[in-house]
């Protein structure tokens, strides 16, 4: 997720306690005993036999996937610099007999797997980048790279997609075909758009897109989905303020870009005040202020950078109008010039209702009926929206909170995810990929 701090809210949902998870499905057994103990549910995609086969394959792969995730976690790399990560992915793919397809990008990997019978073409995407954060939790597999950390769980995504590739390639009966996309640079760096502009969807045309984000905000073994708009459009902006500047002892308030920037900071939220989608508020907030070089010089220029989260094109247009009006007012009352620049964007994540219902049914077959919940839209963003803007599909959330309740927030230095989430995510994605690959009835 890109620069998110917003909690995924599960309306009307009581998180299961550790005790209640045990009844019909026990994903915790992934970590407790290294195998799966819950009963086999028949998904919309296959017979009892193939559901069992999939479960057994996941159980077999789970220990290796956990090791892989630990290795990736210990060696995090930020966006577009995921060189070692890419090597690991390529090695694992080639061990499965899958060849990474050529791209013009230095990092990331794409591989294809043919089905054994006709069906639809499914693209499954994982992001692989880490964040410029220093890990503070003393895990046995903590980051060995100072200042870099898998603080969003993309190590889990990478290992889980390798697990999906493994189990699907071992299944004897699989419809359609699959493209596994290991995408670099999700964290506000435009990796999805770069891959698509590199011709990914022309070289690997697909009928459906699938992905999942692990989350510390949802209990382990619970899957959260939402048809329609699930995540906001995220826009990065920069506001440039220019004024006369001058001697700190002589400058008045007029033309003072620092005072004007102060007004921008305190009034930004007015742009989206009272606006929401469903029950989720829109957000307009700043993360960077740049100005000044000396205590006794009023600078000529200041910058405020931040993000805007909206859900519909109408909301985006209204927020832009509001932001421009605010800047015009601040410029007029403070004797400065202001300019708004949109420096990056990630489209809203919009899930296709039909494919989402298929993916949710597949998820229920893995974690049990009681553990798939509908979530409220979140003002977090994810650039899988770039794929979903072009191809219908589904992006869902896989719970990975630590059992003791100490998982930190995504992007924070104490962020942590339960090991068992790797195999659960692989299982859910594999089952959902099979469901989406079935030919239409």
Q: Please, what is the minimum distance in Å from the beta carbon of residue 232 to Zn ion?
A: 13
Closest residue (Cβ) to Zn ion? 152
Nearest approach, Cβ of 234 to Zn ion (angstroms)? 11
Size of the site for Zn ion (CB under 5 A): 2
- The CB-of-262 to Zn ion minimum distance in angstroms stands at 29
Picking from 281, 188, 278, the residue whose alpha carbon sits closest to that of residue 235 is 188
CB nearer Zn ion, residue 167 or residue 398: 398
Closest to Zn ion by CB, 190 vs 299, is 190
Q: Is 1 in the site for Zn ion (CB under 5 A)?
A: yes
Shortest reach from residue 307's CB to Zn ion, in Å: 12
Q: How far is CA 22 from the centre of its chain?
A: 28
Burial of 395 (0-12, 13-18, 19+ CB in 10 A): buried
Q: Which is nearer to Zn ion, 152 or 259 (CB)?
A: 152
Write out the binding residues for Zn ion, residues 248-287 only, by CB under 5 A: none
Of 336 and 380, nearer to Zn ion (C-beta) is 380
* Smallest separation, CB 226 to Zn ion (Å): 17
Q: Of 1-9, 86-94, 142-150, 281-289, which segment contacts Zn ion by CB under 5 A? A: 1-9
Per CB under 5 A, contacts with Zn ion among 94-153 are 152
Nearest-approach distance from CB 410 to Zn ion, in angstroms: 5
Q: Which is nearer to Zn ion, 152 or 422 (CB)?
A: 152
Closer Cβ to Zn ion, 152 or 430, answer by number: 152
What x/- string results for residues 53 through 92 when contact with Zn ion is judged by CB under 5 A?
----------------------------------------
Pairing of strands 283-291, 301-310: antiparallel
Q: How far apart are CA 134 and CA 47, in angstroms?
A: 46
Give whichever of 2 and 169 is closer to Zn ion, judged by the CB atom. Answer: 2
CB of residue 319 to Zn ion, shortest distance in Å:
22
Give the nearest distance from C-beta 1 to Zn ion in angstroms: 4
Taking the least distance from each CB to Zn ion, the nearer of 1 and 192 is 1
| One character per residue 151-180, x = contact with Zn ion (rule: CB under 5 A) | -x----------------------------
- In the complex, which residues of this chain contact Zn ion (CB under 5 A)? 1, 152
């Amino acid at each position: 997720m890109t620069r998110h701090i917003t909690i995924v809210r599960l309306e009307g949902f009581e998180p299961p306690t550790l005790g209640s998870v045990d009844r019909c499905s026990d994903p915790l057994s992934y970590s407790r005993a290294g195998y799966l103990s819950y009963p086999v549910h028949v998904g919309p995609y296959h017979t009892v036999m193939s559901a069992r086969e999939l479960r057994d394959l996941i159980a077999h792969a789970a220990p290796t996937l956990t090791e892989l995730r630990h290795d990736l976690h210990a060696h995090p790399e930020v966006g577009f610099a995921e060189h070692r990560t890419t090597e690991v992915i390529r090695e694992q793919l080639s061990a499965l007999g899958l060849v990474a397809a050529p791209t013009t990008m230095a990092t990331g990997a794409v591989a294809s797997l043919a089905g054994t019978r006709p069906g639809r073409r499914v693209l499954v995407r994982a992001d692989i980048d880490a964040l410029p954060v220093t890990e503070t939790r003393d895990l046995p597999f903590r980051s060995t790279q100072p200042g870099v950390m898998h603080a969003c769980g993309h190590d889990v995504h990478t290992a889980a997609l390798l697990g999906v590739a493994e189990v699907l390639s071992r299944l004897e009966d699989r419809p359609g075909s699959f493209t596994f996309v290991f995408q670099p640079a999700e964290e506000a760096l435009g990796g999805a758009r770069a891959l698509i502009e590199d011709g990914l969807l022309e070289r690997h045309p697909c009928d459906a897109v699938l992905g999942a984000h692990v989350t510390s905000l949802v209990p382990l073994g619970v899957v959260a989905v939402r048809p329609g708009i699930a995540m906001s459009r995220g826009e990065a902006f920069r506001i440039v303020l220019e004024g006369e500047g001058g001697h700190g002892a002589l400058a008045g308030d007029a033309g003072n870009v620092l005072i004007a920037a102060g007004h921008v900071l305190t009034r930004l939220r007015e742009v989206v005040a009272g606006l929401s989608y469903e029950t989720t508020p829109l957000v307009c907030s700043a993360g960077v202020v740049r100005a000044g070089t000396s205590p006794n010089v009023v600078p000529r220029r200041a910058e405020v950078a931040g993000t805007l989260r909206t859900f519909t094109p109408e909301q985006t247009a209204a927020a832009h109008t509001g932001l421009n009006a605010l800047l015009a007012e601040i410029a007029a009352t403070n004797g400065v010039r202001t300019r708004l620049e949109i420096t990056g964007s990630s489209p809203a994540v919009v899930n296709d209702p039909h494919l989402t219902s298929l993916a949710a049914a597949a998820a229920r077959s893995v974690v049990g009926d009681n553990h798939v919940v509908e979530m409220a839209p979140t003002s977090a963003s994810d650039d899988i929206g770039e794929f979903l803007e072009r191809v219908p599909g589904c992006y869902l959330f896989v719970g990975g909170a630590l059992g003791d309740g100490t998982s930190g927030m995504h992007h924070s230095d104490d962020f942590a995810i339960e090991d068992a989430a790797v195999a659960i995510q692989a299982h859910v994605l594999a089952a959902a990929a099979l469901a989406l690959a079935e030919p239409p009835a």
